[in-house]
């Protein structure tokens, strides 16, 4: 993790020689964009832009970090890891949401961790400030509860999906969700990484990828998976993709 600037809203910073200035506006996250002007004035000046690397942990099992995260072009996952090291993803959050709501109780410990699934940038805010603003703003509290509900809904759907749907269906769902959070038709993930996210054997993911490639729905080479036929992938995905997509669209601001 690398903190790029102390204030996400500043535009007067000159880039170093050979660099291009990038302004990470808070409005690029849908939750922050939905805040009323008075709440934005309280929150935006304290946001910090952080650069996240794929695979790193923001906090692990145990006492929570004291931050909340609003992804911009990064994707974060709630991940449960067992004592033997195996685990699976429970929920995924990108530019449409935020993560860290468990901090409403500062002494709580969690049975899961937060990991960066796809690297990029996020805005970070100290939980203490978030709680202070939320206590005085009903619209802000309502928005945060919607984020919490969206994560809980994903967890419930993941439990049913992992129990009842095939690896190929889960693989298609993973790819479609990755495309929704990305900017193109290529997903940078290895079979090992996908298997770890889904909580299944790598061989199962490889078999699914081979079948889909033979059907000319995807092409993959050394950790780069290109979706050729999105419609075909949607038809082979389980119902969970559309259910989660619809629920998030209803719960979170556009």
Determine the pLDDT at residue 217. Answer: 97
pLDDT tens, position by position, 49-84: 999 999 998 875 544 567 889 999 999 999 888 888
Q: What is the mean pLDDT of the chain?
A: 85
Every domain range in the chain assigned CATH 1.10.10.10: 163-249
Range 163-249: architecture per CATH? Orthogonal Bundle (1.10)
pLDDT of 15 > 50? The answer is no
pLDDT classification of 167: cutoffs 50, 70, 90: very high
pLDDT classification of 30: cutoffs 50, 70, 90: very high
pTM of the model: 0.85
Q: How many residues does the chain have?
A: 254
Determine the pLDDT at residue 12. Answer: 35
Residue 136 host element (H or E): helix 127-136
Bigger pLDDT: 111 vs 184: 184
Domain 2-140 is classified in which CATH homologous superfamily? Jelly Rolls (2.60.120.10)
Tokens 């929704």 correspond to what residue? 180
pLDDT tens, position by position, 203-247: 999 999 999 999 999 999 888 999 999 999 999 999 999 999 999
Assign 48 to helix, strand or coil.
Answer: strand
Q: Are 26 and 70 in contact (CB under 8 A)?
A: yes
pLDDT classification of 18: cutoffs 50, 70, 90: very low
Instruction: Give residue 22's Cα distance to chain centre.
Output: 22
């Amino acid at each position: 993790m690398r903190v790029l600037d102390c204030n996400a809203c500043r535009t007067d910073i000159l880039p170093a020689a050979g660099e291009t200035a990038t302004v990470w506006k808070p409005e690029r996250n849908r939750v922050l964009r939905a805040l009323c002007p008075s709440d934005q004035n309280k929150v935006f000046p304290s946001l910090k832009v952080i650069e996240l690397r794929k695979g790193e942990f923001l906090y692990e099992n145990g006492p929570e970090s004291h931050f909340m995260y609003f992804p911009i072009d990064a994707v974060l996952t709630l991940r449960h890891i067992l004592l033997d090291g195996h685990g699976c993803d429970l929920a995924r959050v990108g530019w449409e949401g935020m993560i860290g709501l468990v901090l409403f109780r500062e002494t709580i410990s969690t049975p899961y961790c937060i990991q960066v699934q796809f690297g990029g940038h996020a805005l970070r805010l100290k939980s203490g400030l978030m709680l202070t603003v939320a206590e005085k703003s009903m619209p802000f509290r309502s928005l945060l509860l919607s984020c919490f509900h969206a994560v809980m809904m994903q967890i419930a759907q993941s439990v049913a999906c992992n129990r009842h749907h095939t690896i190929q269906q889960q693989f298609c769902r993973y790819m479609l969700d990755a495309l929704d959070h990305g900017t193109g038709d290529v997903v940078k993930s290895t079979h090992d990484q996908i298997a770890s996210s889904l909580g299944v054997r790598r061989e199962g993911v490889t078999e699914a990828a081979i079948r889909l490639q033979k059907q000319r729905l995807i092409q993959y080479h050394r950790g780069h998976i290109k979706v050729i036929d999105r419609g075909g992938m949607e038809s082979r995905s389980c119902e969970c993709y559309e259910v989660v997509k619809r629920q998030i669209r209803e719960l979170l601001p556009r």
